A and B are shown apart, each in its own frame.
Chain A
Amino acid sequence: MSTTMNGTMEIVYEKPKTLTDNPTHYCPGCGHGVIHRVLMEVINEMGIAEQTVGVAPVGCSVFAYNYMNIDMQEAAHGRASAVATGVRRVLPDKFVFSYQGDGDLAAIGTGETIHTINRGENILMVFVNNGIYGMTGGQMAPTSLCGMITSTTPYGRDEHFIGHPLKITEMIAQLPGAYYVARHSVHTPAAVRKLKKAFKASFESQKEKKGTCFIEVVSNCPSGWKMNPLEANEWMEKNMFPYFPPGDIKLPATMK
């Protein structure tokens, strides 16, 4: 593509070449698409596309390997960080990340999540928290909010019966193997810029073999939440952020 237009305009923003041209299967306005792009932009800008291996989950982002134009491996449900551990052990000099939803990372994969971080595996774990099982039709996730209506909690999540929403990010931050832990979002341009910095810092730290970087992205699920994308982002800010506040949770001294 030419970088100028009529000789007086230049491109200041375009889709990174680390994303394929496949149209995504995501619902309109779904945060997964933005998170994919931000991650791939960082890899593109750091020039590490040929040295990076990603691990895709089971969940709506199961086809991430169709969109991310780098080496990818699919994992069984919940096991992305275990597979990423294998990749890391075999390929110690690559950049490695896993990408998982809340059902994948914090329900069926809780064991793998905790032990990967406890071992301080030198990987980036991307955790997309949309408070629901998007792929399978909007069932309650460990992170669904109290009172939240889902297809398996039609009267709202009752914490006395099913427990409180799981703050797995705060939990794993306690582990010595966790090097950098933060929570972000992608609902505004400013939030997107912050997430980009966090991904970049995470890959930079892999060069130094510092341990696990864990970035939660509080995201939306317009279809599962039964809202339009703008309403979903508004609902997320109003209801998800008080319980899952964006910000650094464990910031290494070198990043301060």
Chain B
Amino acid sequence: MISGTVIIATEICKGCELCIASCPQESLGLSTSINRKGYRYATLLRNNCTGCVNCALVCPDSAITVYREIKSTKRQSQSAQPTVATQTA
């Protein structure tokens, strides 16, 4: 399966949960802590993101940047593995 990840601008997020509901992988959830605006923000809970961009498409605050693994043929070094840490809530 293709692997991907998301970076969420936690200070921009308003915790609307629309991204969470749109994720086919159920990768996203709300943080337990709050941001400066007082919202629980969206965060990656699991490392199973495929980089499908669904969450970013429905985010009203454009808070999500999506990354996807470069196909091995495009990769310069085959040995380099995607090592993206899951953000902790």
Contacts and interface: CB of A to CB of B under 8 A. Distances in A.
A161 interface: no
Interface residues of A, number: 37
A152 to B, nearest CB: 26
B51 A12 contact: yes
Interface of B: 4-5, 12, 14-18, 21-22, 39, 51, 53-54, 56-62, 64-70, 75-77, 80-84
Interface string A37-67: 1000000000000000000000000000000
Contact of A229 (B18, B69, B77): B18
A186 B60 CA distance: 10
B58 A34 contact: yes
- Secondary structure at chain A's binding surface: helix, strand, loop or mixed? mixed
A189 B53 contact: yes
A33 B4 contact: no
* The 7 nearest A-B residue pairs measured at CB: A33-B60, A29-B16, A28-B14, A13-B66, A28-B16, A9-B67, A15-B62
Nearest to B71: A10
Interface stretch (A19-27, A74-82, A174-182, A208-216): A19-27
A14, A186, A222, A233: residue with the most chain B Cβ atoms closer than 10 Å: A14
